[in-house]
Structure 1
Amino acid sequence: MNMLEVIKANYSVVFEEKLLEEIASVAKLYEFQEGDILIDFGDYIKNMPLLLSGAIKILREDFDEGELLLYFIEKGDTCAMTMACCMGDTKSEIRAVAETNVSLIMLPVIKMEEWLGKYKSWRNFVFNSYNNRLKEMLNAIDHLAFMHMDERLLHYLSEKSKINKTKFILSTHQEIAYDLHTSRVVISRLLKALEHEGALKLHRASIELLK
């Protein structure tokens, strides 16, 4: 497929024909493998991503030089924090990591600003993206403030299961601990407790969700 066909296949119900043609004229297609870093802390972001397939996790650097998982973005999504950095010409405060193999297009920031005033569908898309990501960040704050670590762990595994469309989670205990900003020992202990409660089953190289 050419670029216009790719854009139409993914966004024809979101954007009007004229905007689809403009997107196709400036978009660049990129492929990333699971684990690749798409955007890192301190980067200047000159392009905005639109996700065609796969999933990306967005991490925030904390004051102790660790990282905290904020949210995942999936097909049809974009990252509100990336947009904010693009529009403000500021350094990135997030790290974007491919959760799965990813296909996406990049759009130059100058076009984002132009389309805000030109196309209602683009404005709606941007505002809805901000709204959805804000809700997810508020959920992340709620989980930190009000959930016990075992509840956060189970929620995290459920999200991973949904995104990867499988009940088997292939992440190591250390990788999970990294995303949840805790220690591997804590994660291993909680996984054992959740297995005892019948919520999951631990295998040699995976975690199987049972609920």
Structure 2
Amino acid sequence: MEFSEVVRRRRMVRRYADRPVDPALVDRMLEHATRAPSAGFSQGWAFLRLDTPVDVARFWEVTTPEHADPESRWLAGMRSAPVVIVPLTSKDAYLDRYAAPDKGWTDRDEARWPVPYWYVDAGMATLLILQTVVEEGLGACFFGITPSRVDDFRAAFGVPAAYQPLGAVTIGHRHPDDTGSRGSPARRERRAVDEVVHRGYWGG
């Protein structure tokens, strides 16, 4: 598949067919994720791979908000995914890396950072997962983990305190009758390129 076609086809899929995902494809997604750029080659990301029914069920058990509607079509559709990948990032890995002799900083002062690149880099790695999903003819959806459930998530899967989850990615074969929630793109138009690109000067 041409790269432009991968970009064009990428969208969030919220309902999955009752079919397993080839583990080799998940391997490829994660290998591609590790090819993302990272500041100072810090590579402060990590990925929790959940690809057994027991682990996926545990994920939903510990992350679903107590107030969630058990009849929710969104939740039922997302729970049908056979694979969940949780991208995580370590701020300490970046602060330590830039306090190293070859970087020139002498401390771990977070104020030196113009933006938190530990999130930026992990986000780019996550996008490579989403793009690989499309290339392999699968579907995926990135979504957040409710803050009040993060501690339960950590405890259930032994995630160290130094690693912060960005969210989670459900992965599977798209259901042929995917009529669940289509999300915001169904209600909002994509902004045109000339609305968001400012050439030479803002508004130019």
Task: Tell me if both proteins adopt one fold, taking TM over 0.5 as the criterion.
Answer: no
TM superposition score category, shorter chain reference: 0.3 to 0.5
TM-score, normalization by structure 1: 0.31
| Structure with a larger share of its residues in helix | 1
Q: Which has the higher contact order (CA 8 A, sep 6+)?
A: 2
